[in-house]
Chains A and B, each alone.
Chain A
Amino acid sequence: MIRYAWIVPALPAVAFFLILFWGKRMPGKGAEVGIAAMTIALVLACVILGQWASGHAPVHGSFLLLQAGSLRIEAGQYIDGLTAAMFVVVCLVSLCSQVYSTAYMKGDRRYTIYYAWLSLFSAAMLTLVIASSLFELLIGWELVGICSYLLIGHWWEEKENSDAAIKAFITTKTGDVPFLFGIFVLTLAAGTSNIPGITARVAAGGIGTGVLTASALLLFGGAIGKSAQFPLHVWLPDAMAGPTPVSALIHAATMVAAGVYLVARLYAVYAPSGHALAFVGGIGAITMLIAALLALVQDDIKRVLAYSTVSQLAYMMASLGMGPKGYTPAMFLLFTHAFFKALLFYGAGSVIHAVHTNNMSEMGGLRKHMPVTFATFLIGTAALAGVPPFAGFFSKDEVIATGFETHHYILWAVALVTAFVTALYMTRTVILTFFGSYRGEAHPHESPRAMTSPMILLAILSAVAGFFGFLVFDWTHIPAVLEPEPFQVGLSILSVAVAFSGILVGYLLYRTYPERDPMLRMGPLSTLLVNKYYLDDIYTKGVVRPIQYPVARDVNDFDRTVIDGAVNGVGVGTRDVGGFLRYIQSGNVQRYAVFLFVGVAVLAFLITRF
């Protein structure tokens, strides 16, 4: 089966076309096609992972996409443990989201096309994962971006939603340009764009460290955009304008993890370059803390989770930045995060479905109305906050411990602080949403089975996945990485203590359900956080508006007045000169004769003179 792994992305791709053209005429409005394709894909993905786990060699096959001069661009499949594991995660969360959406999106006027885009997204994401060449990866990379755009803007009747979609696309596109250049650098240096070829070339020492660093940093630009890392993280919170299952699938579990996956896939390129690793780690450290702090002051439950996602992705980046030993913890966190963050989003979606608002200030007390949602959300929270024995504890603790043991003490310290903040904001979220008394005006009710069953499934995974951490290295390791450090009780006690202190502080602050959120009473710090460090303002007022108003307008005016003015000026000038010269033709024969005579005289003079 592993040799036919390309069928896995092909299934949702076929489903996409079926839904697009015939979905509306189907009894289930196309949803059944998407779900069926995803189910088969998930089964196949599990088979592939099983084959890999039982000791299959990596599979690489490709065909020629195009040849231009000496540049060969191929596409194909490259399957190793990393691909296989990602396959399972992507297929699983895709399937969950599609099932969940049957209830969540019920009655939506664009239900069918929504499923078409979901299927296209899955196909693109799986293409990105299976890609055997950088250009194929780029295709998947951009396609998931456009699917993200289409799904964020799903309710495009309101301008805020389409604005958010555009912002998401343009921000990630900004990162994609250096990404593209990184592909160029690597392709030219390695003489091939095939990932196995590049890896082999690097391993053989065929590429200088300077070139490796340059390409690694350029490629990381794409990861910064896609994985919403500082300074391009601003799009992800706005992307919450999309339907919640989309947020769970694209903006929590899969697409935003693509940046991490990219670095992992090309870890052979990153590992030899100390500067590149330091940069990855540094960006991770900055992002994890600033995003976690931002999550503290949000009222929109989805935005809390969005900033949390940014922060957790930064954990993965930081872990990758710690060197070859940090690879496995990053992958471990990627998988567990996919489960518990998707779960949290489904929980949030379930709540939103019930109370018709995203604002936690209009929630509260939902524990009694929505027991299943509450229970699963609590498991997700525990996992995210790092409470043992839930999945997040093992994976995050491994990241933090690796920081200490590889002597990245700054990363370690920042990660610990962030762990505290994470526990704090999740406690705040749970209390504001589920405890106290209901503050809204709707009639909250538990969500239908189609929504709760994916939540229960993921809750189970979030609860137990941590115990399978030992498999992660066996399954996903690539030649460039080292085995992670063994589990250290002392270090994990410390991180558990940090997590519990965060929960405790949260409980103490919110147990009285204060009228005014204590997070907004921190003076200038609150102002800074509420204004998102003014980054959005800087981008909007410093870049976007100036381009729109003076620059673009001026270019257009310049075009009309100067360049086109010059063109029209030539026309007008020619006409004016002609208009002036015509007065010579006075009709007076004698004047013509004067010109004639003068002309002859001048000619005669010139001829005799020279």
Chain B
Amino acid sequence: MIRLVFPLFFAAILFSAGIYGVLARRNAVLVLMSIELMLNAVNVNLVAFSQYLHQLTGQIFALFVITVAAGEIGIGLAIVILIYRNRETIDVDEVDLLKW
């Protein structure tokens, strides 16, 4: 049995990488992927705590998150494709129609 701190540390790194990607990458697809990283970091935490506390609730939650993430990436990619069709770019810096 591995100690709790290792998966948590791993998840933290994963989450930070995800935040970096969301905040800094300009490609919309990469932003979406970074969101996936963050979600999965949370999943790792949920599973780890579930194991630690001997309760299944966390794992059930993780399954929920995976399901929602699948839906989310589907819609997200659809939006990205539409943006590309309309504006011939998926650079998030240039998609700022909702300003001021």
A residues near B (Cβ < 8 Å) are 582-583, 585-590, 593-594, 597
From B22, B31, B96, give the contact of A586 (CB < 8 A).
Answer: B96
A588 in contact with B93 (CB, 8 Å): yes
Q: Which of B46-100 contact A (CB under 8 A)?
A: 92-93, 95-100
- 22 A/B residue pairs, CB under 8 Å, sorted by A: A582-B100, A583-B100, A585-B98, A585-B100, A586-B96, A586-B99, A587-B96, A587-B97, A587-B98, A587-B99, A587-B100, A588-B92, A588-B93, A588-B96, A589-B92, A589-B95, A590-B23, A590-B24, A590-B92, A590-B93, A593-B23, A597-B23
B99 in contact with A585 (CB, 8 Å): yes
- CA gap between A590 and B23 in the complex, in Å: 5
Q: Count of chain B residues with Cβ under 8 Å from any Cβ of A?
A: 13
Q: Chain A residue with minimal CB distance to B19?
A: A597
Residues of A within 8 A of B93 (CB): 588, 590
- CA gap between A583 and B23 in the complex, in Å: 19
- CA gap between A588 and B93 in the complex, in Å: 6
Residues of A within 8 A of B92 (CB): 588-590
B45 to chain A, nearest CB (A): 15
A594 in contact with B100 (CB, 8 Å): no
A188 to chain B, nearest CB (A): 67
Q: Given A588-B96, A590-B92, output 12 extra A-B contacts at Cβ < 8 Å.
A: A582-B100, A585-B98, A585-B99, A586-B99, A587-B96, A587-B98, A587-B99, A589-B92, A590-B22, A590-B24, A590-B93, A593-B23
Residues of B within 8 A of A583 (CB): 100
From A582, A587, A588, A593, give the contact of B22 (CB < 8 A).
Answer: A593
Residues of A within 8 A of B31 (CB): 590
B residues near A (Cβ < 8 Å) are 19, 22-24, 31, 92-93, 95-100
- CA gap between A597 and B34 in the complex, in Å: 14
B19 to chain A, nearest CB (A): 6
A596 to chain B, nearest CB (A): 10
B89 to chain A, nearest CB (A): 14
A61 to chain B, nearest CB (A): 81
Residues of A within 8 A of B100 (CB): 582-583, 585, 587
A608 to chain B, nearest CB (A): 15
B35 to chain A, nearest CB (A): 10
Q: Chain A residue with minimal CB distance to B28?
A: A589
- CA gap between A597 and B100 in the complex, in Å: 22
A294 to chain B, nearest CB (A): 78
- CA gap between A206 and B23 in the complex, in Å: 91
- CA gap between A411 and B31 in the complex, in Å: 108
- CA gap between A159 and B97 in the complex, in Å: 70
B42 to chain A, nearest CB (A): 14
- CA gap between A34 and B40 in the complex, in Å: 108
A209 to chain B, nearest CB (A): 79
- CA gap between A594 and B97 in the complex, in Å: 19
- CA gap between A593 and B93 in the complex, in Å: 13
From A582, A586, A587, A594, give the contact of B23 (CB < 8 A).
Answer: A594
B3 to chain A, nearest CB (A): 23
Residues of B within 8 A of A597 (CB): 19, 23
- CA gap between A606 and B18 in the complex, in Å: 24
Residues of A within 8 A of B96 (CB): 586-588
A497 to chain B, nearest CB (A): 101
- CA gap between A588 and B92 in the complex, in Å: 7
Residues of A within 8 A of B22 (CB): 590, 593
Residues of A within 8 A of B95 (CB): 587, 589
Q: Chain B residue with minimal CB distance to A582?
A: B100
Residues of B within 8 A of A593 (CB): 22-23
B38 to chain A, nearest CB (A): 11
- For the complex of A and B, the 10 pairs showing the least CB-CB separation, nearest first, are A587-B96, A587-B99, A587-B98, A588-B96, A586-B99, A582-B100, A590-B23, A594-B23, A593-B23, A593-B22
